[in-house]
Structure 1
């Protein structure tokens, strides 16, 4: 069994690309899915000069929606996840992130006050 590693290179014009390296010479067996549905038109091409494989994943229009969408990249030969593509979009997301940041700031302020109080009490 070969160890497959995936490294993201870029996402441009709706196509995500990554580099797959592995110990063997066989074509990697890769499946990309969104909400448990396989993505069509995923391509894997060998770059013999660099001795790696180039994975190209066209982002399906179903995956472009408000909130967080995740595409899972799996090595089907080893039956393991080797990566993922996360898409973030929409107004709903902006509100969620702002609320989370506000909560984190409040918690950080509380910890700072408690730490300062602890330092004063132990001196």
Structure 2
């Protein structure tokens, strides 16, 4: 179904939610959810006040260390409408901490250079 657009509205309580636009007719298209090239239980689609809402309950057995990417697609054409990724694990924590340490070091260097500049220009 050409012209479909799925816009994320929120991710809360393990449920990804979005609004589906471009639906022609009264029946919603069939959507698929996939993870690691495996098709999972499809998203729930409901209509409220002339809008189509899509809800995807994230399967808890698919949550693991690293990056887990989920893809929501239109079943008939295979067109990807949306995707989301979950990131977790100690490797990411170390990576984020090293980035913060680097930023702190750069900020300290800039503060010293700025102070030196202020002293020299007075």
Report the aligned-residue RMSD. 2.5
1:15 touches 1:56 (CA, 8 Å); kept in 2? yes
Give, in whole Å, the separation in 2 of the partners of 1:68 and 1:56. 21
Q: Which residue of 2 aligns with 1:69?
A: 68
Whose Rg is larger? 2
Structure 1: 5+ residue runs without aligned partners? 109-123
**Aligned structure 1 segments of 4 or more residues deviating by more than 4 angstroms:** none
1:11 partner SS: strand
1:98 Cα shift?
4.3
Give, in whole Å, the separation in 2 of the partners of 1:95 and 1:33. 29
Q: Which residue of 2 aligns with 1:43?
A: 44
Give, in whole Å, the separation in 1 of the partners of 2:72 and 2:42. 14
Q: Which residue of 2 aligns with 1:93?
A: 92
Moved more, 33-42 or 80-89: 33-42
1:95 partner SS: helix
Per the normalisation by structure 2, the TM-score is 0.71
Count of residue pairs the alignment pairs up: 105
Q: Write out aligned runs for 1:8-23 (5 A).
A: 8-23=8-23
Structure 2: 5+ residue runs without aligned partners? 107-122
Q: Deviations over 1:85-114 (max 9, x none)?
A: 111112111223445x47x96xx9xxxxxx
2:23 touches 2:29 (CA, 8 Å); kept in 1? no
Cα distance, 1:79–1:31 mapped onto 2, change above 3 Å? same
